[in-house]
Chain A
Amino acid sequence: MERDKNFVLGVFEDEDVLLEAVAKVRGSGVKIHEVYSPFPVHGLDEELGYKRSKLPIAAFLFGMLGTCLALTMQFYMMKIDWPMIIGGKDHAGLPNFIPVTFELTVLLAAFGMVGVFMITSNLKPWAQPRIFDLRITDDKHVMAIDLATNAAVGEAQIGDILKSCGASEVNKKSFE
């Protein structure tokens, strides 16, 4: 059987039931493809064994880039390219460069991080998402289990496990 094509879906009504179900399903040796929710469920990423996102590191690096670019730009323009004495002060007064440096740090950190987020999560206007169930964005949590990766367990048994964990429905979904 081909991977990433045929799924068993467990539909859950309640986020706390879902959290316990994730632990139980994983405990019984079934690999979960992904869980889809209408809102962020706290602790779900840990239950699924996901590592903490590295996006804060991306934000920090882009922020540092912003700091460096801003300082380089201001020193180059004010000190090297066209030195100008304004109010009898040094043409490269670091304190005066702090506001613009701060703003560009924030700007690059925010845009850089969001850019990385968009790319890693495949968010783009022309993206065609695979919708497992239309109710995911409304009021249902859906646990998708790939039949191919869990061939050893078998479809019927996966359904039983999901039911016993509190799934209100067990459905099948296949993608072309």
Chain B
Amino acid sequence: MQVTSSVREPLITGGKTLKDVTHDVSRQVEGKPTLGWILGLLVAVGTLLLGSLALVATLWEGIGMWGLNKTIGWAWDITNFVWWVGIGHAGTLISAVLLLFRQKWRMAINRAAEAMTIFAVICAAMFPVIHMGRPWLGAYWALPLPNTFGSLWVNFNSPLLWDVFAISTYFSVSLVFWYIGLIPDFATIRDRATGLRKTIYGALSFGWDGAAKTWSRYESVALILAGLATPLVLSVHTIVSFDFATSVIPGWHTTIFPPYFVAGAIFSGFAMVLTLMIITRKVFKLEDYITIGHIELMNIVIIITGSIVGIAYITEFFIAWYSGVAAEQYAFMNRAFGPYAWAYWSMMTCNVISPQLFWFKKIRTSIVATFALSIVVNIGMWFERFVIIVTSLHRDYLPSSWAMFYPTLSDVGVYLFTFGLFFTLFLLFAKFFPVINMAEVKSIVKSSSEKVNK
């Protein structure tokens, strides 16, 4: 039984066999690191070390090192937090939601996208922890631990606490989902290796033997995990948006926030997946697995979610006017035409206008254009969070306390630190872990490769 289709493009090009899949993916795990990888790692670790100066300064001196003032209590810290969490969402969307929809094109990209999710969530989680100022006490503020204050518990009515549970559950479940998928591929590397590598990958592969019984269970586990991860990923950014939406700050207090944040998260996440994948496929010569077709499909997701985000921006504006609430109307006019107009219009251009270029097939199938636009989208989404947070706070109810936010070196440094951390982790992953899910890709070699379609 061979499925041939004259309509669908092959998912794997170059007439690959099962053996080729094993070879092409295991190659970079087994070979010596390339010069490009070493240079990349040096830059990433350098950024990490440079940024850690700011991190240490913040931890030592306190968050007075940042540009926050009594009007603007959240700025880069929470902007970066929401931005990184948002980026994480694409990984779960690809691995869980596309699994439920039986989208086979996910198979070549899900491994790296999930890795991106995990690393992005680590970077994100850093910000709420350090913005507490004294993070060593944070466990008592964030977790329901018995304490010496007569067991004064954490407040379960607060969205900030829901966030703690949402982010930590999201991280743990994503990690487990990712690792379950890695087990059969570690076994593949184990069976090709000798000596120390065999021992290490042997332990990592948990004694996987490829038995039909285990595969059958594995498939049920993957399906149920996907079913659990789908509402989970939607809940995470919903709860992140509650951090704002449940407060009474004009510009934050809107019911549109949950769907608007989720769409924005998927939008920025796919942009980051594209940024990483375009480099990965080139460096590791995986163009036959991550094809132009994959890039085009991801670009289509970007047009859709970008348009949803655009509609959300317009809706917010309309509802602010329609509500008749003067403070709400002022908040939005101030966003678009006040002192932060430059940030607002950067956001509008990057997130709403530029992704519309993907309506042209030439642009959405061009690697250079996709790479450039993926970075534009990431910049735009950072500005979105900055606009929502800072412009809503900087002119509050009392004009005498109006202020502007100016980032300090520590603000920039801590953000740099997370970039260093993210790319260090991603580069280590790309070298030592199979970047493509070999087992899953092998299962579609017969039905979706170029060879069969011819």
Contacts and interface: CB of A to CB of B under 8 A. Distances in A.
Interface of A: 14-16, 34-42, 44-45, 48, 50, 52-53, 55-56, 59, 73-74, 77-78, 81-82, 84, 86-87, 89, 93, 96-97, 99-100, 102-104, 106-107, 109-111, 113-114, 117-118, 120-132, 134-139
A139 B19 contact: yes
B218 A40 contact: yes
Contacts of A128: 207
B212 A37 contact: yes
Most chain B beta-carbon neighbours within 10 Å: one of A35, A93, A114, A126: A114
A129 B17 CA distance: 26
Contacts of B214: 121, 123
B165 interface: yes
B212 A50 contact: yes
A106 B166 CA distance: 10
B239 interface: yes
Contacts of B217: 53, 55, 117, 120-121
Contacts, number: 197
Interface residues of B, number: 66
A81 B151 contact: yes
A86 B325 CA distance: 26
Given A39-B442, A97-B156, A106 B215 contact: no
30 contacts: A34-B212, A36-B211, A38-B210, A38-B439, A39-B442, A44-B212, A44-B216, A55-B217, A77-B153, A81-B151, A81-B153, A82-B150, A84-B155, A97-B156, A100-B165, A103-B165, A106-B173, A106-B228, A107-B172, A107-B173, A109-B224, A110-B173, A117-B218, A121-B217, A127-B206, A137-B187, A137-B188, A137-B190, A139-B22, A139-B442
Contact of B209 (A16, A45, A114, A131): A131
B224 A40 contact: no
A103 B166 contact: yes
B212 A78 contact: no
Interface stretch (B77-85, B176-184, B338-346, B403-411): B176-184
B213 A45 contact: yes
B208 A129 contact: yes
B71 interface: no
B183 A39 contact: no
A35 B215 CA distance: 10
Contact of A139 (B18, B221, B242): B18
Interface in B428-448: 438-440, 442-443, 446
B191 to A, nearest CB: 5
Contact of B157 (A15, A39, A89, A125): A89
A117 B221 contact: yes
Contacts of B166: 99, 103
Contacts of B183: 123
A129 B209 contact: yes
A44 B215 contact: yes
Contacts of B207: 122-129
A59 B322 CA distance: 46
Given A38-B439, A104-B165, A114-B221, A138 B212 contact: no
Given A107-B169, A120-B217, A36 B209 contact: yes
B161 interface: yes
Contacts of A126: 203, 207
B235 A104 contact: no
B1 interface: yes
Interface string B237-249: 0010010000000
A73 B208 CA distance: 38
Contacts of B232: 103, 106
B165 A99 contact: yes
Given A99-B162, A138-B19, A77 B208 contact: no
Contacts of B211: 34-36
B93 to A, nearest CB: 16
B312 to A, nearest CB: 22
Given A126-B207, A128-B207, 9 more contacts: A41-B215, A41-B443, A103-B235, A104-B165, A107-B173, A121-B217, A137-B190, A138-B191, A139-B19
Contact of A36 (B154, B212, B231, B235): B212
Which 9 pairs from chain A and chain B are nearest by CB?
A: A127-B207, A139-B18, A45-B216, A123-B206, A99-B162, A77-B153, A39-B442, A129-B209, A39-B443
A14 B18 CA distance: 10
B9 interface: no
A78 B153 contact: yes
A96 B162 CA distance: 9
B384 to A, nearest CB: 23
Contacts of A122: 207
A118 to B, nearest CB: 7
B193 to A, nearest CB: 10
Given A39-B440, A103-B166, A110-B228, A93 B213 contact: no
A106 B18 contact: no
B191 A136 contact: yes
A56 B220 contact: yes
A113 B18 contact: no
A38 to B, nearest CB: 6
B188 to A, nearest CB: 4
A42 B104 CA distance: 14
Contact of A136 (B209, B220, B221): B209
B275 to A, nearest CB: 29
A100 B192 contact: no
A99 B235 contact: yes
